[in-house]
Structure 1
């Protein structure tokens, strides 16, 4: 607390001693120099900026050099007027963008006669001369006239150069999407548990979105990716609004090309049936020039058709040796003769295959259509008020209730249909005051962000029934036993092994069901309960205070400083239906038959009912199992302070320097505080991990050789720290103990005829699994001296306004991770340590050794510390986390004028290392800072190389043209083009302890890349005034107009068997790859079985689709 009080005092002193007039997180600014007829700076000129939106004005006086700056301007158009004596010069229609400084210069002839207003036509330069920030701003014109494939601000983030999509969002400049920060109306709305987009507002309610991809100053933090700054619309002195509708249906969508992969007895296609949203927005004055309101409401209704197809294998074709193809009859159709060869048919006991791919051939049995509906209702409300032009405030409230049902088709409804409800709420309040002739500005922002999520089985009363996932069985057995398949399916799948004397293919199994997902990884046939039951809540309270001051000293200094605090809380129930879920692997030629049981447990050595495993000395570990919720109530306290100076040595030369300090206090769940960790024996207090000394300097320089704001040469260096998401609070600091037992089928009682093998519910709870046991315990230790994850960034660039409203530029960005924060185990997954892989500070080692030396040599505590120190030393054996991004971008940006807009960029980028980011792209594991990527030292082999975000070439082109027919209306045509390199392809295998796709069999990228991809989207709109003040617009968007359904993902799982990496190997070495034992990981003489889907496309880009819309603006 002493450190916090000192930092708070320091920040407040800095704030009140002065920092500078500049744009805030929700506004922009205007600055410039006023000169006389001789070119000298003119002091004492009154500069007034009047908003065309609200009609309100703000003003400033030029200093001795003729310089001025007007801050806290809402994005929009402004008329800027200069008054000096009787001289009046006006610059109309100056564009102010969010988070940017617009240069507006003037030249006054002090000898001209008074009483005349000189209007200077022309727009302000498009270059942001105030900062080194990289990125783009997305305004209403962009989202209306460019065919953005989505309805929220998140769908437009890909417009920024250096951005690309990944599994969970949009990443920037080599970082993962979970490393971004999302700010709405000045409040941090980033998802607490994972760092994703949490408040996805639709574009109709947004004034402007600033996408900052790099080079940002010390005011911004808690991000090693990008910063997305969103400002919602506000009311004006006129009543304005719109009614809108967007919609698409399956009739607007081309047929999807199915990925070419080995089929199973159950296939499914998910297609959009309809997606429509409609709503209104309205803003206006409550008290003219004083108080304004803005409200909006937009329901969104979506339906997906899920077509389930059941099918069986065939055995009735024969290859014609003359053609090399299957024989055909006189009609040219495949000649299917199901009788055995001995009876003149073609059946030989081997299922027929596709001769080109080797995949089994199937014939359809039945199809069923399921509908999956979701309803979203989004609302916004906002009040702005101005006591005076110098003292203004706003209060905003947004909310997004969501309700729907999620459906899978591989199993019975109780286990595959889930009801889902979510409510996202954001409340913010902001106050801005200017003092000292507008030279001092103070801003306060308070925020509340909350997400409540509930989900359970759509079939009532199943919360006491565990989920079971069945693999490598028979669809007839499962469908008959659980009543989950149609009569047609059962009739077609029933073969002679089930007593069907009329089986058309008696020599083969008709409907074997491996339980494979589209990605080739076994997902299972689900029966029983739903599994995870959700009743989650995440909540953030935040407060931010900033102040600024303009000072003349060897030029002009713009100082700014501030302090912000966040109290982040989450509640996760950790509730499994029936207290467990089971994976039942029936006899097959891939995996050893066994039953896996997974349960949450609580270690209780004094009176635990069950034995969960053994400790390092082979003593039994006793525990209790949870049949209901096992909640974790987490909390993280973040605070930060910053100071920065923008020093204009000359009007065209600026140096920026800033320093940010952050602390993160990650706390144990409330249920664990002041208890003893049963695994480590440590006394648990309040704070589980405190990350201090997060000093983040930022340096930048900007030079304008034109001296008119039409050019910029800039450079930037900065350090940025990750803000650790709260998933770690739940899993590592929430007492999560997870038991996995692998039973031999003989341990689980007689065969269940519904399953064709053991029933997981019959496996003994207090008996060790003969195939293997793993206890993932809450015994998570934080390494002494652990340090935060950070990134260093270098940015260099040049921009020049080639023509009025058009700028060109080139920039270089290097981002290099300096340190990774992850969990790892140095004792074979018995104990996990939150650490910096490859680093353990020598001073921390010496302190712990000195503590050990002072202990009784025979004490148990000394022995425990000696073991602990040995584990910490083992951290150094791990590879250090690495990720290095280099990117060069060429850009052309044409602000809308003379009827057209253009934004284009080409980026050459490379991203290499062994750490993609805060999730694991290979398995989709979404556990920031506690993924499996560094868990075991044997998992690190072959991970260094081109990362999934390594896509060297990316071309982006956005533009639109307005055809103005005067009274006949306007026609708008817009286009969005994308072309990019593919992603590296790896060869992955199963790890005996961690599961599928965890082992890099060969170095990253050994199998090349997916193909180069391209797409084109178009927008056509026609708008016409139907009466004075009312405009009706109808529009149509077409996405992927060339219908290029290229490869998005390929199956990288080379084998389902457990296998060790071939360190530094090549493709030729895979023929020697051997299986490892699932019980202890030792290598066996058995060769691995190759996944026949390996290297095949498992996901394609969306087919051509259309969207129609209507908008009435008034």
Structure 2
């Protein structure tokens, strides 16, 4: 069946179901969409309890452009939908009785229950006004999460100025270093929507459009249990609704400023075996701007405009240091005083209390990073009639900045420019006497990102990363200060100025020293063009049904550049006298006569079978200048889905939610590769590199309200959720990425350069000497396993919520998430060929179909190639199936803002265990969704099962604020944000002989315990006073990490670095190690090195002196003050 027919059939099924449903007598109101909420309830006789039909319900709000009306049915029920988030007045008219309920809050995708009892004996014509709040429990939904409104962001000290900084309020969320993760998933598994349009970053799945908080009306964070409307996420869903104009002209002018003098000094995280320590301190972080909205044509056309420039500077204090050799550990366990003559023993001094080398500080300097961002939003809302309304929003965030080089030449670094823009258009129509609703949304998300060298003269120079050398050579040659150069000089001659003549004073073994150009040059452009159409119908049949069907499609485009400045990226291992020359190359077939393909690339032959062999391929070394031939890569992915969902209210207090969603994703080869033959695998490449179809996602949930007033619910939910593969895989695996590494003996690069202490690696770029080894690390040599299926997760949720008294809600829930299938690249032939596959599974049906293809083949060469591929595919099954099991018990408490007090708290006990953390590889810091190194080789899987990086068993969160009303003297608001959480598991890692640093788990994951329990508190104080008619001036001050606990965010888990440390100025040797299956810490001293062929030697591995030292910390205490004038 063609794609067009599939789309037509899916849409017909959904709309056909709705058309049939519309023939049944429906009620007159509709529920919420992705950017709105609803009010529903039952009106009864206050004395007899009889349900009253024909009551007129009118809803008004400053957030609402026009009043909305509903009439109660024969069961006394009513519902008013499509309400923007905000506070509402609900008025009930029955006979000559009028009752007003004010203070009713409606949230995004939340149904607020407002049940009303009418006193039929009340005096006619009298309006009864009730200042009351409705229950905060949504009796129609099983979703887990939190709604964050503008008052929360105003009165709680949120540690940031964009919406991502507020997401940590949700129970089960945490910062994983790449973003905010939810419910045991990694942060790259979320989906982000702004005004109903998907703005998720296309390459990795990060936050694509960081909307500034002052533009936001409300944020909905869904951490589990979402309905069929949502897909493409195995983490959380974040819904952001920006402010809109109304008939009331209002706005604010504001400013925020974080000065350096209100920031505590950051603690250093010193590292052994390096002679440069760096710590960053905020010099300033400031923004100021305005937001204003109002009518253009009253009751017809409204506007909202906001503009906020933001500026920041971080000062990095860079301190050079030298090791000492002048102390001895005394019999009493104390160190002696420094006496080089008596205690110099050719071994650097070590502090026995910390394990760090003892050093002398030599010199400090400050290098600064600067950035500026201009946030803007323009929004128009239009009402042709109350039933037909539209919205157009345009958002832009241009930004520029520069980052200095910290471990290398002064004056060098990278500058960037970024432009994020979004356009969204939405139209909503209520048809058939308001019985049917149609919503259409168009969206365009665009990100453009470029990088260049700060110094234009270095733009075309190759990046050279030097290791296993020292500052005595590098300092004078590359601009270190005079005190550094003098203090790092190594001179063992008698009477020299070197106080420690028997050691290398300033080694650089674990942190590289960088010289040359900017390295990787970015020219990135990403676009998502999206369209959604949904139809909703409410039906009376054995209760009431709300049936919703929809279809959405996304055309995702990516343009990137494959550029290394100077055409190469160099690793110069000065001590071991080895140089890696890394290049981007493009391969072609031998028949191509294009003169730019004038080089030869050598690599092991992935098609040669078990006996091995090598290939000599025609290739082009890609240039380092933007626009060079072959450097521009264009990728494309098409996503589409349909869904059908029914919310069946069997009884007023019993609801069954059932839905089904179908998704497809088509990831395409780069345009220049389509309909060509892969020179590495001899595979003919078509248009689609990988098609993920058959992705059916059932969802079912049941809710029961035992109070029958919307003040309670017991609920359960089960659902399946599929991942949307980010476009990093398009650029790399399906974009013809070929990385050519040549390994040279340093002598091939030329004579010794005294500034380097060995030959300059740049001399090997065009050397005529033969390389010691050649290897194409080429995603162009990637196969896709026949029958590959999409990555998914199953989820079970159960719990209850209860409003124990007005405005005080408690909840308890259990959540289980379990990965069902994963997409990763694997190699079954020792890293020669990579297969995009489902590790641990390849169906017998797909094997049989592939065997039939072999049997039908008459060409002997093709048959042999296919047989080799079959052997590779069969090897997929020997991999351990990826596991990530998340189990959580959550306790929540919410005291909604009323009578000046707001409190929100949660305690989560959770465990996240398995061998697959998700789309972020936390262990080695790799962010390559679905093509990380985690499953590349079977031997890399040893010892990986255990508590994952997200495993923080205990997490306590408490947010709250209180407002003191001093009448004419103004209002004083105090707020707090408290966090306490378990530390992260620690590990012991070593290098793998093929894959390098931190790829081998020496001990079982989590064997060595976890870091310390962390905690911190943030405080807000604000004062506001009316300064004129309709105008209020507010001054506020926030302090973060109030008691300045700069706890451990991460530690160095590298037990053994790839090269042993240099001794006495002599370079270390390469050392790799295999996992110790089921081992303990005591076994580490017996681990032996592995040579480059994977054979174990008799030499023990050398321990990293930084092992389990803190590698990164939480931010120091800092203050921020500001003002806001509202009108």
TM norm. shorter chain > 0.5: yes
Mapped pair 1:1018 → 2:1019: yes
Which residue of structure 1 aligns with residue 501 of structure 2? Answer: 506
Contact 1:605 1:621 in 2 (8 A): no
Q: Secondary structure of 2:1084's match?
A: helix
Distance 1:260 1:738, change over 3 A: closer
**Deviation, structure 1 residue 529:** 1.2
Work out the number of aligned pairs and report it: 1086
Mapped pair 1:919 → 2:951: no
State how far apart, in whole Å, the 1-side matches of 2:332 and 2:244 are: 76
Which residue of structure 2 aligns with residue 332 of structure 1? Answer: none
**Deviation, structure 1 residue 853:** 2.0
Distance 1:499 1:188, change over 3 A: farther
Mapped pair 1:357 → 2:354: yes
Which residue of structure 1 aligns with residue 1095 of structure 2? Answer: 1082
Mapped pair 1:108 → 2:114: no
**Deviation, structure 1 residue 372:** 1.4
Q: Secondary structure of 2:479's match?
A: coil
State how far apart, in whole Å, the 2-side matches of 1:708 and 1:611 are: 74
Mapped pair 1:1070 → 2:1088: no
Contact 1:603 1:621 in 2 (8 A): no
Contact 1:789 1:821 in 2 (8 A): yes
Contact 2:271 2:277 in 1 (8 A): no
Which residue of structure 2 aligns with residue 331 of structure 1? Answer: none
Mapped pair 1:128 → 2:141: no
Distance 1:948 1:199, change over 3 A: same
Return the TM-score normalized by structure 2: 0.94
Map 1:610-759 onto structure 2 (within 5 A): 610-615=600-605, 616=608, 617-622=612-617, 623-628=619-624, 629=628, 630-759=631-760
Mapped pair 1:531 → 2:519: yes
Mapped pair 1:484 → 2:479: yes
Deviations 1:240-279 (A, max 9, x none): 1111111112211222232354262222221111111111
Q: 1:559 aligns with which of 547, 558, 561?
A: 547
Contact 2:62 2:246 in 1 (8 A): no
Which residue of structure 2 aligns with residue 819 of structure 1? Answer: 821
Q: 1:542 aligns with which of 525, 530, 548?
A: 530
Of stretches 1037-1046 and 782-791 in structure 1, the one that deviates more from structure 2 is 1037-1046
Mapped pair 1:833 → 2:828: no
Map 1:7-156 onto structure 2 (within 5 A): 7-14=10-17, 21-36=30-45, 37-54=47-64, 56-109=66-119, 114-156=124-166
State how far apart, in whole Å, the 2-side matches of 1:1017 and 1:979 are: 12
Contact 2:740 2:774 in 1 (8 A): no
State how far apart, in whole Å, the 2-side matches of 1:1023 and 1:235 are: 24
State how far apart, in whole Å, the 2-side matches of 1:848 and 1:822 are: 21
Map 1:897-912 onto structure 2 (within 5 A): 897-912=898-913
Which residue of structure 2 aligns with residue 801 of structure 1? Answer: 803
Return the TM-score normalized by structure 1: 0.95
Distance 1:66 1:500, change over 3 A: farther
Which residue of structure 2 aligns with residue 521 of structure 1? Answer: none
Which residue of structure 2 aligns with residue 411 of structure 1? Answer: 408
**Deviation, structure 1 residue 916:** 0.2
Which residue of structure 1 aligns with residue 468 of structure 2? Answer: 472
Which residue of structure 1 aligns with residue 786 of structure 2? Answer: 784
Mapped pair 1:394 → 2:382: no
Of stretches 153-162 and 233-242 in structure 1, the one that deviates more from structure 2 is 233-242
**Deviation, structure 1 residue 706:** 0.5
Contact 1:571 1:631 in 2 (8 A): yes
Distance 1:137 1:502, change over 3 A: same
Which residue of structure 2 aligns with residue 436 of structure 1? Answer: 432
Contact 1:714 1:798 in 2 (8 A): yes
Deviations 1:472-506 (A, max 9, x none): 1121312223x321223222222326999433333
Deviations 1:588-627 (A, max 9, x none): xxxx441112111122341652232231352432222112
Which residue of structure 1 aligns with residue 1116 of structure 2? Answer: 1103
Deviations 1:122-176 (A, max 9, x none): 2111101110011111001101111111111100101001111101111111000
Map 1:952-1031 onto structure 2 (within 5 A): 952-1031=953-1032
Q: Secondary structure of 2:353's match?
A: coil
Mapped pair 1:6 → 2:9: yes
Which residue of structure 1 aligns with residue 594 of structure 2? Answer: none
Contact 1:923 1:997 in 2 (8 A): yes
Q: 1:1060 aligns with which of 1074, 1082, 1085?
A: 1074
Contact 2:602 2:614 in 1 (8 A): no
Distance 1:1087 1:71, change over 3 A: same
Deviations 1:940-975 (A, max 9, x none): 111111101111011111111110011110010111
Map 1:847-866 onto structure 2 (within 5 A): 847-856=849-858, 859-866=860-867
Q: Secondary structure of 1:649's match?
A: strand
State how far apart, in whole Å, the 1-side matches of 2:947 and 2:328 are: 45
State how far apart, in whole Å, the 1-side matches of 2:749 and 2:853 are: 49
Which residue of structure 2 aligns with residue 163 of structure 1? Answer: 173
State how far apart, in whole Å, the 1-side matches of 2:330 and 2:813 are: 61
Map 1:199-278 onto structure 2 (within 5 A): 199-259=209-269, 261-262=271-272, 264-278=274-288
- Extract unaligned runs of 5+ from structure 2: 23-28, 591-596, 1058-1070
Of stretches 310-319 and 391-400 in structure 1, the one that deviates more from structure 2 is 310-319
Q: 1:597 aligns with which of 563, 575, 581?
A: 581
Distance 1:767 1:802, change over 3 A: farther
State how far apart, in whole Å, the 2-side matches of 1:445 and 1:724 are: 23
Which residue of structure 2 aligns with residue 930 of structure 1? Answer: 931
Contact 1:819 1:881 in 2 (8 A): yes
**Deviation, structure 1 residue 52:** 3.2
State how far apart, in whole Å, the 1-side matches of 2:805 and 2:769 are: 78
Of stretches 688-697 and 609-618 in structure 1, the one that deviates more from structure 2 is 609-618
Deviations 1:810-868 (A, max 9, x none): 00000001001111111111111110000001101011112212333x71111111111
Distance 1:129 1:160, change over 3 A: same
State how far apart, in whole Å, the 2-side matches of 1:448 and 1:17 are: 34
**Deviation, structure 1 residue 319:** 5.0
Contact 1:30 1:71 in 2 (8 A): yes
State how far apart, in whole Å, the 2-side matches of 1:146 and 1:178 are: 26
Deviations 1:354-388 (A, max 9, x none): 23334322222222111211111101111111122
Contact 1:303 1:371 in 2 (8 A): yes
Which residue of structure 2 aligns with residue 520 of structure 1? Answer: none
State how far apart, in whole Å, the 1-side matches of 2:459 and 2:786 are: 42
Of stretches 261-270 and 495-504 in structure 1, the one that deviates more from structure 2 is 495-504
**Deviation, structure 1 residue 232:** 0.3
State how far apart, in whole Å, the 1-side matches of 2:912 and 2:929 are: 20
Which residue of structure 1 aligns with residue 846 of structure 2? Answer: 844
State how far apart, in whole Å, the 1-side matches of 2:316 and 2:868 are: 54
State how far apart, in whole Å, the 1-side matches of 2:18 and 2:558 are: 32
State how far apart, in whole Å, the 1-side matches of 2:349 and 2:952 are: 39
Contact 1:677 1:683 in 2 (8 A): yes
Q: Secondary structure of 1:35's match?
A: strand
Q: 2:777 aligns with which of 763, 767, 775?
A: 775
**Deviation, structure 1 residue 536:** 0.4
Contact 1:18 1:440 in 2 (8 A): no
Distance 1:842 1:608, change over 3 A: farther
Q: Secondary structure of 1:508's match?
A: coil
- Extract unaligned runs of 5+ from structure 1: 328-335, 518-523
**Deviation, structure 1 residue 457:** 0.8
Contact 2:886 2:911 in 1 (8 A): yes
**Deviation, structure 1 residue 111:** 6.4
